[in-house]
Amino acid sequence: MAVTCLALPSAGSIRASEVRTIRARAGSVHLRGAEQAPTAVWGYDGVVPGPVLRVKRGEEIMVRLANDLPEPTSVHWHGLRLPNAMDGVPHLTQAPIEPGQSFDYRFKATDAGTYWYHSHVYSSEQIERGLYGALIVDEAERIDVDQDLVLVIDDWRLLPDGALDTASFRSAHDAAHAGRIGRHLTVNSTPSLDIPVRANERLRLRVINAANARLVTLRLEGHAAWVMAIDGQPAEPFLARDSQVTLGPGNRIDLFADAALAPGAQAPILVENSGAEVPLVNLRYATGAPARPAPRAQAKPLPSNGLPGRMAFKEAFRLDVPIEGGAMSELMMRGRTQEIPGHGLDPRARFWTMAGAASSGHHGPPLFSVKRGRVVMLGFVNATAFPHGMHVHGHHFRLLDKNDDGWKPFWLDSVVVAPRETARIAFVADNPGKWMLHCHMLEHQETGMAAWFEVI
Ligand code: C2O
Ligand code: CU
């Protein structure tokens, strides 16, 4: 059965200037539809996705995270440029929140856009169990759309009775290959979502990839899709080719789609799953009169969040970061390949390296250290047979063209680097503190593909 209310952003919103307590706790959700037995999960306030946190740009977010889980946790505000102490990285920016304890997060939402929050302790397990939610920062001015919809996509590995397959959390095979990919796809934790639309409405679709390791490729049938923002930050709008976009783990894309079909029509939004396309969303047109006589004119770009218009490459700090390891690599031949007993992935399991080191990303020396305001240019040199979604905390970056002589017309906080490819990025290191830099394929992150850098 399709559920519509989950797509509505108003439910569970916080208002500015109130402290909202969120409890990380056990709960259950109907991942396979309302008629099937629910799945036991961990969620913020016991639901998955957690409550949609919604504020206006410039307002404060005040969340008290209460830990009702049997193990430590923390919250990372993915993609937000915030004070380092609020970044939620255990051991690097805060102590893990122990069971029964709480932690107050408080920061200003400086950037409008689509963000998400998630656990950063035993991420591969806690996020997989459901500890994530959407964080929407509204633009100061009104954006002219009829519907503003949050679509959080995840994949799950379920046992035949619908329970989460937790035994394979410790799979060294997953960690050494593409990460944990589940075959059961959901949007807002339901297998199919019905969205009622009226002809000539403009939809803003805020797509979030919350999967541990899956690249989510999504296609709108019968509708043109304008890419308006990526990873929260406004882009120079462009039409998605074939109305299709791909999001690495952690990526977000804001799409504008005009409902151009006739009253009574239906059209799916499809997501690729093992070579086939699964209709996760159904746009169901009302039969009555159109919302307006004709679609709107082409949308103007979303208002800028004030990221720098230029960067001085000449004085930049440059570093190439080779990425090595994974199944069949030399590192693995020397390393440990057996299933790992105990809790989570064994912290000594090291299948991947960045710049020659396998790290937790919060111990040991920094990968680099720069003065505040310095331009940083990194080259992610993927020498492995797998794609990696490289995520930088606290900063948005540009993806550079081949000769560093230009950049793509958007900003990112996570970039997918294809096997045997190099991605070059540039950003202004203007946020002081200790920031993590890691693969958002969470099983990779936890087996070595993590580092941190310092802005002083
Ligand atoms: Cu979305 Cu370090 O994480
Ligand atoms: Cu990776």
Ligand 1 in reach of 118 Cβ (< 6 A): yes
Taking only the tens place, the pLDDT of each residue in 291-302 is: 999 999 999 999
> Which uninterrupted H or E stretch holds 228?
strand 226-230
For the beta sheet containing 193-197, the strands, ordered from the edge strand earlier in sequence to the opposite edge, are 193-197, 276-285, 266-273, 216-220, 244-247
Q: Residue 342: which pLDDT band, with cuts at 50, 70 and 90?
A: very low
Ligand 1 in reach of 436 Cβ (< 6 A): yes
Which amino acid is residue 418, in one-letter code? A
User: Quick one: pLDDT at residue 170?
Assistant: 81
Ligand 1 in reach of 438 Cβ (< 6 A): yes
Tokens of 275: 């070579």
For the beta sheet containing 407-412, the strands, ordered from the edge strand earlier in sequence to the opposite edge, are 352-354, 317-325, 374-382, 422-429, 397-400, 407-412
Length of the chain: 456
User: Quick one: pLDDT at residue 358?
Assistant: 87
Please tell me what DSSP assigns to residue 108. Answer: E
Average pLDDT, the chain: 92
Tokens of 357: 């080191």
Examine residue 387 and say whether the peptide bond preceding it is cis (omega within 30 degrees of 0): no
Ligand 1 in reach of 76 Cβ (< 6 A): yes
Ligand 1 in reach of 250 Cβ (< 6 A): yes
Indicate which ligand has the atom closest to the C-alpha of 441: 2
Taking only the tens place, the pLDDT of each residue in 82-110 is: 999 999 999 999 999 999 999 999 999 99
What gap in Å lies between CA 367 and CA 361, rounded to an integer? 9
Residues forming a β-bridge with 132: 118
Tokens of 125: 């397990």
User: Quick one: pLDDT at residue 14?
Assistant: 53
CB-side neighbour CA atoms (13 Å) of 367:
29
User: Quick one: pLDDT at residue 13?
Assistant: 53
Q: Name the residue among 86, 169, 226 with its Cα closest to residue 349.
A: 169
| Radius of gyration over every alpha carbon of the chain, rounded to an integer in angstroms | 21
For residue 393, the ligand 1 atom closest to its alpha carbon is 2
Cβ atoms of residues 415 and 421 within 8 Å: no
Cβ atoms of residues 351 and 411 within 8 Å: no
Ligand 1 in reach of 391 Cβ (< 6 A): yes
Indicate which ligand has the atom closest to the C-alpha of 211: 1
Pinpoint the alpha helices (H) of 139-192: 172-176
Please name the residue whose Cα sits nearest to atom 1 of ligand 1.
Answer: 78
CA of 384 to the centre of ligand 2 (A): 9
CB-side neighbour CA atoms (13 Å) of 147:
22
Taking only the tens place, the pLDDT of each residue in 36-71 is: 999 999 999 999 999 999 999 999 999 999 999 999
User: Quick one: pLDDT at residue 299?
Assistant: 95
Indicate which ligand has the atom closest to the C-alpha of 124: 1
What gap in Å lies between CA 19 and CA 210, rounded to an integer? 25
What gap in Å lies between CA 243 and CA 224, rounded to an integer? 6
Q: Name the residue among 228, 246, 247, 248 with its Cα closest to residue 237.
A: 228
What gap in Å lies between CA 61 and CA 51, rounded to an integer? 13
Pinpoint the alpha helices (H) of 313-437: 330-334
Please name the residue whose Cα sits nearest to atom 3 of ligand 1.
Answer: 78
Q: How distant, in Å, are the alpha carbons of 3, 218, 297 from that of 197?
A: 14, 19, 18
Burial of residue 265 (CB within 10 Å: 0-12, 13-18, 19+) is middle
Q: Is the pLDDT of residue 16 over 60?
A: no
Q: Is the pLDDT of residue 119 over 50?
A: yes
Q: Residue 275: which pLDDT band, with cuts at 50, 70 and 90?
A: very high
Non-local CB neighbours of 403 within 8 Å, separated by 6+ positions: none
For residue 250, the ligand 1 atom closest to its alpha carbon is 1
- ∠ CA(315), CA(316), CA(317), 5° rounding? 125
Burial of residue 279 (CB within 10 Å: 0-12, 13-18, 19+) is middle
CB-side neighbour CA atoms (13 Å) of 384:
31
Strands 113-119 and 75-78, bridge-based pairing: antiparallel
User: Quick one: pLDDT at residue 363?
Assistant: 84
Cβ atoms of residues 426 and 406 within 8 Å: no
Taking only the tens place, the pLDDT of each residue in 146-186 is: 999 999 999 999 999 999 999 999 888 999 999 999 999 99
Examine residue 49 and say whether the peptide bond preceding it is cis (omega within 30 degrees of 0): yes
- ∠ CA(274), CA(277), CA(282), 5° rounding? 145
Indicate which ligand has the atom closest to the C-alpha of 353: 2
Left if phi > 0, otherwise alpha if psi is -120 to 50, otherwise beta: which for 309?
alpha
User: Quick one: pLDDT at residue 277?
Assistant: 97
> Which uninterrupted H or E stretch holds 217?
strand 216-220
Ligand 1 in reach of 374 Cβ (< 6 A): no
